[in-house]
Structure 1
Amino acid sequence: MLEIENLLGFYHKFDILKTFDNIDEASRFLLEEEVDAVFIRSDVGDPAHTPDGSFLLSYVTQRKPDLLAVLYSPSQNTAFWSLTVGAVAAFTLPLDPLLFQRSVDRVLYIYDLLQYKRDARARSILVKTRDGYRMLQLSDILFIERRNARSTSSAPTDAR
């Protein structure tokens, strides 16, 4: 079976910064570095002596809510559980190519949405008010309502 990192290489969208076999090292790295997405195997490490990948997922997503975490596991229960504690996607082992593809697509989609949100913070819009025009940041707008405006479209009348 191909390793996850080799499969991710096919997409040409992921820069794999580092891989870990040790949960403590992975946790430190994820909390200290700027990381957009992480793929975590649930049964990595020795659960009798150290936390496993499921613990890592829960720990880092609580501290970095914008981190896009995907958990993969031989257990369907663990994969499902991961979605309740912060994973954006999950898939099971042995690897099902369609589930893997859906997980990757979901990560890329959410990443694009978050990027759009970050970019929107710097955008502004010109709004006409009673007192003239005013420039507003898009991130400051919660709701827009149009009042007392005449319709410029002409709707056909109901002739009977």
Structure 2
Amino acid sequence: MVAGVGLVSPLRVSSASQRAFGKTRLWPVLRGVKSYLPVTKLKDITKANILKLHEKHGDIPYQANRTRGVLSKMFNYAEDLELRPDNSNPVLKVKPYPEKKRDRYLSPEELKALGKTLKSCEETGTESPYMIAAIKLLILTGCRLGEIQTLK
């Protein structure tokens, strides 16, 4: 592989793959990056380029930080493939925005809908009874998923 491969060319995939990937949460992040750095060579991207992109989403710190994270992984992978020199990840020099901790609770309507869905799954047998019990345990106890998964 040649150091200097374009940033966008590895992202080009079939239309079917794009449609499938478009349903994931990463697509908006990569679409924004692709439109912002459309023809830049991977080896030529600097901290200044990343900083401009990061500041572009500064009004939405959560999105800016997720974009930063995806880019950091991408540059680390480029280093693994020897498309960039080791320790040259420009994203690491850009500080993430502070984020407010967000607590999210299900509304009464959402709890009712979840209850109906779980009951339906129990009656039809479409889900494992262990999975249904784990979800109920999460709701009733407030434990973390990892704590429930490691119960014996």
The alignment's TM-score, normalised by the length of structure 2, stands at 0.28
Task: Write 1 or 2 for the structure with the bigger share of strand.
Answer: 1
Structure showing greater radius of gyration is: 1
The alignment's TM-score, normalised by the length of structure 1, stands at 0.27
